[in-house]
Amino acid sequence: MLYVYSATWCPHCQKAITWLKNQKVPFEVIDIEKTDEETVKKVVAANGGEDWVVPTLEFNGQWREGKVFEAASFREDLIRMGVEIPGNA
């Protein structure tokens, strides 16, 4: 399962979520501001250990640090992580 660590106020999170829905990629959203402390620590570690950044992605133990949403690089990162994108040949 692809996990998207997100915040409701984050426009890049909303763009990433909309893109995933449009591509029909199964995922689960985890609100970073409402999750447990252990999960927050993992997201902080995935982002260099200073603070959490959203949207951060996790898939099968692989992490993609939070960064500005840009569709082409987002797609490339998902493919590199092994996420299946329907229609991707």
> CB-based contacts of 35: which residues, under 8 Å, 6+ apart?
5
Structural domain count, the chain: 1
Q: Does any domain span residue 3?
A: no
Q: Does any domain span residue 4?
A: no
**Full domain range(s) for residue 16:** 9-81
Amino acid (one-letter) located at 9? W
Once rounded to an integer, what is the mean pLDDT over residues 10-31? Answer: 98
Once rounded to an integer, what is the mean pLDDT over residues 10-23? Answer: 98
> CB-based contacts of 15: which residues, under 8 Å, 6+ apart?
69
Q: Does any domain span residue 50?
A: yes
pLDDT, tens digit, for every residue of 52-79? 999 999 999 999 999 999 999 999 999 9
Q: Does any domain span residue 30?
A: yes
φ/ψ bin of 30: left (φ > 0), alpha (ψ from -120 to 50), beta (otherwise):
beta
Q: Does any domain span residue 89?
A: no
pLDDT, tens digit, for every residue of 21-47? 999 999 999 999 999 999 999 999 999
Q: Does any domain span residue 23?
A: yes
